[in-house]
């Protein structure tokens, strides 16, 4: 599918299978999410631009590569996005963080915004928006609309699982935003859950059900 990268690294797929299992504990789920998010972060940042810098090793002065441009922004869609955030920050500790609160109205499945906090200057930074589940796409579409209103132009979206319905909605709304996911699952059920999925990601990582 154009604009969608499925990250099929064996370690990602193995960890995802354990996360899907209903008997995986809250602690286990959270630990795996942190581990898998590091691997996903590695893939979503694979093509970042480098620039050369002069440094001195204990032996010699050399030109060595460093990341070019302004610090990245990781934008977490609350609350489940925070589960992906920690592993990503392990890998890129200097990244800036945005938090976006949108919840799904269970009747209409529409996204309602209740919180938005992002760094001031998002216009010349790469923003990686994270949410483990791309289900209907409503919350990610709304979150990215808010970021674009603040001037964000260079955006990528990272999730763990995506439903075909959500991918279609998302790409219709934001064709300029590449999507990275560990799996495209079968479909959404009437309650808006991804099937086979892994259940409610927020509940599984925080033990709220």
* Catalytic residue annotation: 104, 108, 200, 203
**Could you give the CA distance from residue 10 to residue 136 in angstroms, rounded to a whole number?**
27
| Binding residue (CB under 6 A) for ligand URA from 88, 135, 162, 179 | 135
Q: How far is the CB of 194 from ligand URA (least distance, A)?
A: 4
> Beta strand 73-78 with 96-104: parallel, antiparallel or unpaired?
parallel
Does residue 41 bind ligand URA (CB under 6 A)?
Answer: no
Does residue 200 bind ligand URA (CB under 6 A)?
Answer: yes
Binding region for ligand URA (CB under 6 A) out of 36-44, 71-79, 107-115, 196-204:
196-204
Does residue 159 bind ligand URA (CB under 6 A)?
Answer: no
Does residue 133 bind ligand URA (CB under 6 A)?
Answer: yes
Binding region for ligand URA (CB under 6 A) out of 5-13, 69-77, 175-183, 198-206:
198-206
Site string for ligand URA, 63-82 (x = CB under 6 A): -----------------x--
Residues that bind ligand URA (CB under 6 A): 80, 133, 135, 192-194, 197, 200-202
């Amino acid at each position: 599918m154009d604009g969608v990268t499925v990250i099929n690294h064996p370690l990602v797929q193995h960890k995802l299978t354990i996360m899907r299992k209903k008997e995986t504990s809250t602690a286990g789920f959270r630990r795996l999410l942190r581990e898998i998010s590091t691997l996903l972060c590695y893939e979503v940042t694979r093509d970042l631009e480098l620039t050369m810098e002069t440094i001195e090793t204990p032996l010699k002065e050399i030109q060595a590569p460093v990341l070019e441009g302004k610090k990245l922004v990781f934008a977490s869609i609350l609350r489940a996005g925070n589960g992906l955030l920690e592993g990503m920050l392990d890998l890129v500790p200097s990244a800036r963080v945005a938090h976006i609160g949108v919840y799904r109205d269970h009747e209409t499945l529409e996204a309602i915004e209740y919180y938005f906090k992002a760094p001031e200057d998002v216009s010349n930074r790469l923003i990686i928006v994270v949410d483990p589940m791309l289900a209907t796409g409503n919350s990610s579409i709304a979150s990215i609309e808010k970021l674009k209103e603040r001037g964000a132009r260079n955006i990528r979206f990272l999730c763990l699982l995506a439903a075909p319905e959500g991918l279609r909605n998302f790409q219709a709304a934001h064709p300029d935003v590449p999507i990275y996911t560990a799996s495209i699952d079968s479909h959404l059920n009437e309650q808006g859950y991804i099937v086979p999925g892994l259940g409610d990601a927020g509940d599984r990582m925080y033990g709220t059900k």
